[in-house]
Structure 1
Amino acid sequence: MKFPFKTLGLLIASMTLASCGGGGGDGGAVGPPQAGTITLTATRTTLPLNSGNVLPYPGSPFMAEVSFTYRNNAGVITALTSDATFTTSSPSTVSLSPPDDPATADINEMATRVVSFPATTNNGSYVFFATSYDVAGTSTITASATDPATNRTVTKTLVFTVQGAPPLPGSVTLTPSPSVVYVAGVGGATSSVISAQVKDGANQPVPDPGAVANVLYEIVGDAGGGILSGNGGSGSSVMAKTTAGIATVSFQSGTTLPPGPVQIRATVDRADNNVSNGISDPISATTSVAVSDGKLFGLVITSPDLEAITENHVFAGVDADGNPVGGLDGTYSFTISVLATDRQGNPVVPGTTIQFGVIDAPLTGFPGMGGGSFEIAGGDGNPLEGGTAFTAPTGHFMTAGGGAGPGDTLLVFGQLVTGNFDLENVRVVQSIANNTNLTVTSAFNRNDTTGSSVNYGPVLPYVIGRATEANVTASASTNALGVASTKLNYPVSRLGKQTIVWAQGNAATSSVVRTVADIQPVRLPGVAPAQLTVSPTPIAGNTTTQVTACLYDANNSPILGAYIGFSFSGLGIGTGSIDGITGSGVIDSATGLDGCTTGVLTTAGISSEDEAIVTFSAGGEPVEVPIVVSTGLLLQAFPSSTSGGAVTLLLTDGSGNPVPNAQIVGTCTGGPSITGPIAPTGANGRTIATISASGLEYVCAGEPRNTGECVFTTGSQGGPTATVTVLGGVAVGPDFSPLGPGVCAPTP
């Protein structure tokens, strides 16, 4: 009923307008001006598939030239007053490019590929290019422009077709996600999505098959009770159909472990893209899904090479912005991880608990003889397979290192001896009968990796010890990769000390609980880079003198038990030795509690023309110290590198005799300064200078330290000099600064 009244109203309005004559004219109605039109003409609208994504170039078989023309309502080609715009609806099928602009010599606009671009026409005409891409199909090119007479937008479209191969299967690929599942009931993922991608001969997704299925999935071989499941049903084989070339089903694991990875095959029919009516021209692909029982079988301890150490801080609250406040607390935490696998090399079930531990005593020889050696140790351990007894014919369980006791940790290195992998065990000592016999609180493994228990006798290395200066977070759980991580915590005053870290987990079987362990020695590390200093510098040639080398980590903490290497060069016919070792070697004693060691350096037969050098090294940057043979005076500084404090200056003549009553002066650059006067040299040719490093800016922990120099001389023109490198302080990291976020404060 509404439409007749609406139509009548329009009719009355029309009649009213027509009757308004205005005193002359033809008495008829006048319509609005008409806009012009766009013409698009292409050299061709069907293009071949550009599977190689070749860029546009003149004469390309993948490209069409498109001409644009604008005409007014009278059909006359007309110049536009604004840019025209060209757009493609499917850039993965057809892309656009303008002609090359000679004004931009460094850019070839024709070789670009765009979705849309504006262009200034030439009196209403323009030429651009359409190039096929790597997806078959159609794309609509739209040209739009503003009519200069009516200001209306005028558009025109042109459809391009990119032809591929016939829409029948040419290939099929399979991808499982995840590639590892677990037997039902053990707590891990039990299903994997199996995706099949089906493409035609031009590498394009096949068309959707409609109501029929076009992919047949099958389990090949024994799946341990596992099945395939999809919209087409479930079982050892199912059918599925693709959407945009992709079909999916899921593999569901069974309750028993299959003999190996489960093979899954997908088949398509090249004849008609339909497997519902049988398969006459098959194409297949196969993938595999590993099915794990999730049981722990192997453990490997590892640590990262970068960002492995955390510098711990004293937590003293937060500032106004919520940032933690506190200084370094004198301890480090070192990341320790384990990789846990099942017997087939798959990750164990996520959430598997791994126990960690560390021993560092009783130890002998630290730091003077390196990292130290564990005192209650041997190479003839014999655990009773499946029992709690442990014997060692040459053991000293009750006497070495003060003796072992209940609660100590027994580490058996089964992996070091072929055939004893299962006896890599960590056990707690329950009681000690004598020097060669003890019992543990839980039974050793049966050493039955082959299926039968084997006893090789007293052939296994072992260590008994306890933790006194380091600790480790006791347990962690594995992630999806089978990785569990913990922290080894220790004081910075024990850098370089030998410890042994262990990890162990349980692997329950139908009859017994088997343990799986890995045991690794770890010397407590400092923060890189290491800093090596050597004094004196230079060294007087053709003399015997003491030389001191000191090793510190990046935070200036001493590294103990480190052996410092040396090598001489440029001696000519001369010789050089340290601690009686000629040419090259290591200083006899390792670094002590202060991180320093001293050796006796002797040189002979070196001429003043030789460029003699002794180079010291300890893992970081080597330090070269010149060896000077002088007929004049020689000034030496001890130490030659400092963070501030007293420096001993030694003045000798060309024969190495001390020079007394000489006035030494010094100047500093880069921030350090000399505090107080320097007294004349004494009868031993020595005097003391005090250096302050307060003028050097602090840096955050882990950053390179600022340095300056102080140069000392006798003041005589051409006299001897000695240079001391001065190191700036290390500060608390900005996140823990008591001075506010982003500010480093000096360490206490």
Structure 2
Amino acid sequence: MFEGEKIMKISRAMMASAAMAAVLSACGGGGGSGGESHSPYSITLRAEKTQLPLNVSNYPVGQGVYAPFSTTLYVEGKEGGRPIPGGEDIFACNMAGGLDSGSLYYLDGDPEHETEVDDGNGGKIKVPKAYRNFKLDSNSGGNSFHFHAKNQAGTARITCTVTDPRDKKEVSKSVEIVVGGTSGKPASVRMITPANYMGTKGNVNLIPSTVAMNVQVHDDAIQPVSSSSGANVQVRILPGTDAAVGARLVAGSLSGGVLQLPSIGGVAQFSLLSGNDTGPIYLEFTADRYDNNVGNGIQDPISIIDVMPVLEALTAAPAVADVNLGDVTNTIPYTHLLTATGGLPPLTWSVTGLPKGLAVDANTGLLSGTPDDAEGPYRATVTVRDKNKRQASGTITLNLVGAVKPEDFAIGNCNLNEVCPLGVVGSGANFAYAFTASVSGVTWSFDALPDWLKGGTAGTTGFISGTTAQCDAAAVPPDTGDAGTYRFFVTATKGVTSVTRQVSVTVTCP
């Protein structure tokens, strides 16, 4: 038999079998039933709001009218027109884009979906956890969850998937939520650097003399502003400091004291190279809000000034403590050595607010001079600066008091070089004398006082007193008692100055 005849016989047999099956079905034969109808799964996903404002204040997630940065999403699965069966972990939802712009939340009150954080008052509070993906149960074929915006503009793409348990076929649906936007116009610039200082050129202390830096350009919603055409940020070394001399900026083939740079994702990169001297380098950063282009002229400048300290060696920062000098006497020479801790020598000193006549040596910190100013309290500021140009300040307090002078301590008409008689006292009599000066605050002291006068008091009163011994002229031999002339010294002291006078008292025996 030829091959073609075999094929024709097989075809006729198959057609006959199909016809017989059709007859049996029409007659209700075969003993079977009509069976069940299975439709494929389908899924829907929608969001209450598909656009949210930027959450620049980091407002917490929530629901309702007081949750302007949050939205609710609804996911639903169907088999034909009927809800899919309920169960656990039926829907799988994932952030397929925009992770920097928002996060997913359950907000179902389940403690497993919450975490504890500090409340700022020493206590703890529970807040919802943020997710980038999770699974949801099916209740009546659906469920809901939430999306909360962050402070980064962008479009968040959320995808939810359901799997048909009969054939394991997955179906999914996505929704996009737009978070904020950018105006593309600069509103602020900011310097970012990994270093807090840099070293002088050629320093031997292994402090890097080149520092890589970034400058960020943001719009009024704190979103990155990239270059639209040409450079959109200018960096300039400001003159006027020792450290600025010899310093320069570099970026690729560009080098100099001023650079105009493009930004990628709102960030421009450059490096700063130091010069030979220490101190601050002030950097000016400028963007143009008018057209986001500094290369064609700056019409609406947005500027900041930041600083980079340049050091020769790493030391503790200089510090100077407050000091109270107490009483300082007017018109009398005075010295006091100021001291500091830390810093890189040599130190340089300066003081403002001292009484006239007092000054500080810039190199040694020696405070000296002869004050000649109004008496009373003074409060001065002392500043010390080290070789790294870092400085610290402290406070000097003192009380300027008047000095006692010879003319302030006069006894009658006596000359300073004379012995001043205080008077005559008889035997067995009491004697008292109070010394005075024309200035206040004087203390008194005595030297070579006779024994009979030592009952007096020194100190602030300047008072002496005593009783002479009784003499007996009729005695054999005669008893003269304390008769005679007594000389002693009295000293008036105020602050660091004093005046001493020699005085006398005569005791007679009738």
Q: TM-score, normalised by structure 1?
A: 0.35
Larger RCO (CA within 8 A; separation ≥ 6): 2
Q: TM-score, normalised by structure 2?
A: 0.50
The structure with the larger Rg is: 2
